Amino acid sequence: MSKPTVYVVIYSTWGHIKTLADSVVKGLREGGVNAELYQVAETLPQEVLDKMHAVKFDIPVLSPKDLVKADAFIFGIPTRYGVPAAQVKAFWDATGGLWAEGALVGKYAGVFTSTASQHGGQETTAMTFLPHLVHHGIIFVPLGYQSKVLFDNSEVVGGSPWGAGTVANGDGSRQPTGKELEIAETQGKTFAGTILKVHKP
């Protein structure tokens, strides 16, 4: 029986989302599905990225039209003022043809995020991302409380029932912790379990 394929599609400026994505991919593969990592196209000029000290990743750039090739997706989205980064919005703005054809109806998707602070909008970023899925008829799969780390109040821990997350600090100095990576891996595993329940080879 063929395995379903999940695309993990990210935008990462300084690497926090990329680090979480690696754990999500690990969890997906351990959960029994094929997982492929992609990034959305950059919209900022290189001179601006240089001033921001942005990190460049050797990850294939996904064309919006290629979303049809996957059975499901998990999107890694950094927060900008509590909503998804503009690069993610630009990616979805280019999916009008897919929307007109109903090409993504019935596929599944999840989300994970990164914010500068504990209260920087991890949940609102997920919430404001949902209209993209709704208009395409994509089914949202939340993490829920399948990771018990979400109950850990002994230290700062990113993530929520909406999906995994990390807190990066305003200067990006804080890197994803072991607990946050554990949440991300759990999200991958549980998402894979959901996809396997509904996948028809």
pLDDT one digit per residue (tens) for the chain, 201 residues: 689 999 999 999 999 999 999 999 999 999 999 999 999 999 999 999 999 888 899 999 999 999 999 999 999 999 999 999 999 999 999 999 999 999 999 999 999 999 999 889 999 999 999 999 999 999 999 999 999 999 999 999 999 999 999 999 988 889 999 999 999 999 999 999 999 999 876
By C-alpha distance, which of 11, 36, 166, 153 is closest to 90?
Answer: 11
Burial of residue 147 (CB within 10 Å: 0-12, 13-18, 19+) is buried
Q: Are 104 and 137 in contact (CB under 8 A)?
A: yes
Q: What is the pLDDT of residues 59-85, one digit of tens each?
A: 999 999 999 999 999 999 999 999 999
Provide the pLDDT for residue 170.
83
Q: What's the pTM value of the predicted model, to 2 decimals?
A: 0.96
Task: Return the CATH class of domain 5-198.
Answer: alpha beta
Q: Are 74 and 111 in contact (CB under 8 A)?
A: yes
Q: What is the pLDDT of residues 24-49, one digit of tens each?
A: 999 999 999 999 999 999 999 999 99
DSSP-assigned beta bridge partners for residue 9? 38, 75
